[in-house]
């Protein structure tokens, strides 16, 4: 049976995490849940953790809708969780890492900063196939279609399994009960929102989140997602790039 690790960066209590775990369990996978004890958005693939005497605290949890699924709240970020899971912290390493469902889209090259994507990349770098899944809830959603996103992710798992070990898919789902369908997409030049410095002096800096202007990049994840499509983008972890240096 395929072993699946479910993690996220929104924390163990997040509804998107539970929806994804439920969908994976219903599909017949051997599911383990391990997620941050607290919100860890924007942590990328950080392996920082709260330690005491060199130990990372882990709390065993019971998910109300999945009482038979092992669940752990880890006092560290999702990148760390994916790393220690690959080292056997929660039993045999997973064949597939599913990270999400994230509260908010992860599109464009801004995914560099995403803890959701960071967990997927870390899991893939350590011997699994992986998928990051996000729901485009926007700034003021009236409803959350977590199940739509979770079911879309599980539907894409067979395509992920056809790829080599180390493959990563970044999946974004419109916040709708019936998206238009699935489209493969390129990465937009930026994301949907960005951080700005709203106030600063020599004692503090205050940040704010702002939506970027809608400048369509045809075929990109941001554009297709905005048009109501589920987007799928294959992404790589750290790779080298020849520089062609002639030194010495």
169: in domain? yes
- Where is 15: in which H helix or E strand? helix 15-26
The three-state (H, E, C) secondary structure of 126-194, written as one string: CCCEEEEEEEECCCCCCCCCHHHHHHHHHHHHHHHHCCCCCCEEEEEEECCCCCCCEEECECCCCCCEE
* Model confidence, pTM: 0.91
Question: Any idea what the CATH number is for the domain that residue 104 is in?
Answer: 3.40.1210.10
- List, for residues 4-37, the tens digit of each pLDDT value: 999 999 999 999 999 999 999 999 999 999 999 9
Is pLDDT at 118 greater than 80 in this prediction?
A: yes
Note the pLDDT tens digit of each residue in 35-52. 999 887 767 666 666 666
CA distance 100 to 109: 18
- Closest Cα to residue 182, out of 226, 234, 224, 239? 224
Q: Which residues contact 142 (CB under 8 A, 6 or more apart)?
A: none
- 141-191 pLDDT per residue, tens: 889 999 999 999 999 999 999 999 999 999 999 999 999 999 999 999 876
Say whether pLDDT at 54 is over 80: no
Judge whether 138 lies within some domain.
yes
The pLDDT > 70 percentage for the chain reads 89
What local confidence, expressed as pLDDT, does residue 205 receive? 80
Residue 242 lies in a domain: no
Q: Measure the CA–CA gap between 247 and 174, rounded to whole angstroms.
A: 50
Is residue 196, in this structure, part of any structural domain at all? no
Report, in this order, helix, strand and coil percent for the chain, each rounded to 5: 25, 35, 40
Q: CA–CA separation, 244 vs 197, rounded Å?
A: 38
DSSP collapsed to 3 states, 57-79: CEEEEEECCEEEEEEEEECECHH
| 240 occurs within a structural domain | no
What residue numbers bound the domain in which 123 lies? 3-190+217-235
Other C-beta atoms lying within 10 Å of the C-beta of residue 60: 8
**Domains in the chain, number:** 1
Tell whether 209 is covered by a domain.
no
Distance of CA 60 to the CA centre of its chain: 22
Q: Is residue 139 part of a domain?
A: yes
What is the number of other CB atoms lying within 10 angstroms of the CB of residue 58? 17
28: left (phi over 0), alpha (psi -120 to 50) or beta: left
In a domain, 56, yes or no: yes
């Amino acid at each position: 049976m395929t072993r699946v690790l479910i993690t996220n960066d929104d924390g163990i209590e997040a509804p998107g995490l539970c929806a994804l775990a439920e969908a994976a369990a219903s599909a017949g996978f051997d599911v383990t849940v391990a997620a941050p004890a607290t919100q860890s958005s924007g942590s990328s693939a950080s392996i920082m953790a709260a330690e005491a005497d060199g130990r990372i605290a882990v709390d065993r949890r019971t998910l109300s809708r999945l009482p038979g699924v092992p669940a752990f709240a880890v006092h560290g970020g999702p990148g760390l969780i994916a790393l220690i899971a690959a080292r056997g912290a929660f039993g045999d390493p997973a064949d597939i890492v599913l990270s999400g469902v994230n509260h908010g889209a992860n599109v464009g090259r801004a995914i560099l900063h995403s803890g959701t994507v960071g967990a997927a990349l870390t899991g893939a770098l350590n011997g699994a196939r992986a998928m990051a899944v996000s729901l485009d809830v926007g700034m003021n959603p009236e409803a959350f279609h977590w199940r739509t996103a979770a079911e879309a992710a599980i539907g894409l798992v067979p395509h992920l399994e056809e790829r080599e070990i180390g493959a990563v898919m970044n999946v974004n789902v419109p916040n709708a009960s019936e998206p238009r369908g699935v489209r493969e997409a390129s990465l937009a030049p930026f994301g949907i929102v960005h951080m700005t410095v709203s106030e600063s002096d020599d004692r503090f800096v205050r940040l704010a989140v702002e939506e970027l202007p809608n400048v369509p990049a045809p075929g990109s994840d941001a554009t297709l997602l905005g048009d109501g499509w589920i987007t799928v983008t294959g992404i790589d972890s750290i790779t080298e790039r020849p520089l062609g240096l002639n030194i010495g």
